[in-house]
Amino acid sequence: MKIIKVGASVTQSNDRDAALLREELRAKGQLMVNLMSSPGSGKTTLLSRLIRDMKDVKIAVMEADIESAVDAERIEALGAQAIQVHTDGMCHMDAGMTRASLEALEDDGAQLIFLENVGNLICPAEYDTGAGLNMMILSVPEGDDKPLKYPLMFEKSDALVITKTDALPYFRFDTALCTARAEKLNPGISVFPVSAKTGEGMTALEEWLRGKLTAWQAGTQKEA
């Protein structure tokens, strides 16, 4: 027996797969957005709104869930390409699973591909999926203290979308405090308070996404 010094992170192979996938997508002009949140934060409702509002951009959605196809059916009903990915109990998506999902999507030229990660604020933040952008959702009913409880998720995200702002009158949720807590963890994070139901705040988020897509296609988007 001989001893071999490895000195590599356990996730090294995943990081490499993710970097490769990211470059392949960039070469095709496709921006993949890794969407992370708790269950019930309104991911599918937000995506439905984005698809309806952003008719100028071709959008596809990969819905990762442990079971069922209810989310993908909702997206397809809006006319966007969607697939349901079953993770068979796994709590997050990694680069290999994402690649397999993209192959199953049988891409027909989508510019913006949303990967709806498993509803969970912990493990999805630890695995690079190969996405060009990481976006997280925090809904008003979940509370403004989540940046304190799940710091890694906020550190890894390029954008924080605060959903269900139409419910603000009914909850003690301080948007400014939540934003300050998120910015303390991640000074570069962009924060968008929105209501996918009323449409409030959606324009700013959509403009941000369009800007990121243009920059990505121009090759100037920094590595996620």
Partner 1 sequence: MHEMGIVLHLAKTLDETAEQNKLTKIGRVTLQVGEVSGIMTDLFTDAWDYFKKKHPMLEECVLELETIPGVTWCDNCKKTYETVKYGKTCPHCGSGETWLLQGNECIIKEIEAE
Site residues (CB under 8 A) for partner 1?
1-14, 89-92, 94, 122-123, 126-127, 148, 184
Residue 1 or 27: the one with the smaller Cβ distance to partner 1 is 1
Question: Crossing angle, helix 95-105 and helix 12-27, to 10 degrees?
Answer: 30
Residue with tokens 């490895």: 6
Q: What angle do CA 37, 38, 44 make, to 5 degrees?
A: 65
Which of 49/92 has CB closer to partner 1?
92
Shortest Cβ 5–partner 1 spacing (Å): 5
Q: Any residues with CB less than 8 A from the CB of 15 and at least 6 apart, and which? A: 9, 95, 128
Strands 59-65 and 112-116 come out as parallel
Helix axes 202-217, 43-53, angle to 10 degrees: 70
| Residues with Cβ within 8 Å of residue 222, at least 6 apart in sequence | none
Q: How far is 61 from 122, CA to CA, in rounded Å?
A: 22
C-beta closer to partner 1: residue 39 or 199:
39
Residue closer to partner 1 (CB basis): 77 or 90:
90
Least CB distance to partner 1 at residue 16 (A): 9
CB of 188 to partner 1, least distance (A): 15
Shortest Å distance, C-beta 14 to partner 1? 6
Phi, psi of 165 (to 5 degrees): -65, -15
Cα–Cα distance for residue pair 46/12, rounded to 1 Å: 33
Nearer to partner 1, 146 or 212 (CB): 146
Cβ at position 180, least distance to partner 1 in Å: 12
| Least separation in angstroms between CB 87 and partner 1 | 9
Strand, helix or coil at 184? helix
